[in-house]
Amino acid sequence: MAQLFRKSADTYLRALLLSGLLALIGLIVVASEQCEPDYITAVGWAPAQPVPFSHAHHVGGLGLDCRYCHGSVETSPSAGFPPTHTCMSCHSQVWTNAEMLAPVRNSYAENRPLRWTRVYDLPEFVHFRHDIHIFAGVGCQECHGRVDTMPLTRQATALTMKWCLDCHRDPAPHLRPREHIFEMGWRPPEEPGERAALGQRLMKEHAIETDILTNCSICHY
């Protein structure tokens, strides 16, 4: 019987299949690096809360400072959740019978804390410190976005390892003077040269050393 294919055809077919497989793997790797779907990163996620607290109303409208509710943000790794008596310092006087605030009144009467749901919930093997970042000049807006425009608090940033490392490798563009840390909508100088100069000045003033910021032990200890 006559041979229909040369002996080399089998080698070519194997090479073609292997090339296709490698191309597919490469495409998946590139897509995973360039595209992070929101359903994976949770960007835009706004979990249900015991009370539909609006940062847009309290921060954007009334002008409350972040530290009024998150009292430990400058001195502790955790920003802290507002205790019920903080809420009642206002709501014992205004909106006292609002149905949506019944959980707050019940919490206060029963001396039982409200169970807020974390919007930014990092894995247990990641250790993030609010106090260190604030001391270094990183504003709340860098990670939490413009909460003063959020009727319901949602996750604004991806918080992936790459996202964090990009900032740790080049923190200067993300720094601001400490007096503007809690200011929503703060804008750096518009001129690129001035913005770069401000970043470098803050790096020196805050003693930020990028050589150590990418060590594993910075976030995983």
Question: 170: which DSSP letter?
Answer: S
Measured CA to CA, the distance from residue 135 to residue 5 in angstroms comes to: 72
pTM: 0.79
Helices marked H in 64-187 — which ranges? 66-69, 84-91, 102-109, 130-136, 140-144, 161-169
pLDDT for the residue 21: 84
Q: How many CB atoms lie within 10 A of CB 143?
A: 19
**35 confidence band (pLDDT: 50, 70, 90):** low
CB 174 within 8 A of CB 138: yes
- What is the per-residue pLDDT across 114-134, written as a single tens digit (0 to 9) for each? 999 999 989 999 999 999 999
Among 59, 61, 81, smallest CA distance to 69 is for 81
β partners of residue 175: 138
For the cut 90, the answer to whether the pLDDT of residue 42 exceeds it is no
**57 confidence band (pLDDT: 50, 70, 90):** very high
* Angle at 45 (CA atoms; ends 39, 47), nearest 5 degrees: 130
Cα atoms in the Cβ-side hemisphere of radius 13 Å centred on 108: 17
pLDDT for the residue 155: 96
Radius of gyration for the chain, computed over Cα atoms and rounded to the nearest angstrom: 25
For the cut 60, the answer to whether the pLDDT of residue 218 exceeds it is yes
β partners of residue 138: 175
- What is the per-residue pLDDT across 154-189, written as a single tens digit (0 to 9) for each? 999 999 999 999 999 999 999 999 999 999 999 999
Among 178, 177, 167, smallest CA distance to 213 is for 167
pLDDT for the residue 14: 75
For the cut 70, the answer to whether the pLDDT of residue 30 exceeds it is no
- What is the per-residue pLDDT across 81-119, written as a single tens digit (0 to 9) for each? 999 999 999 999 999 999 999 999 999 999 999 999 999
% of the chain exceeding 70 in pLDDT: 89
Phi then psi dihedrals of residue 119, to 5 deg:
-85, -40
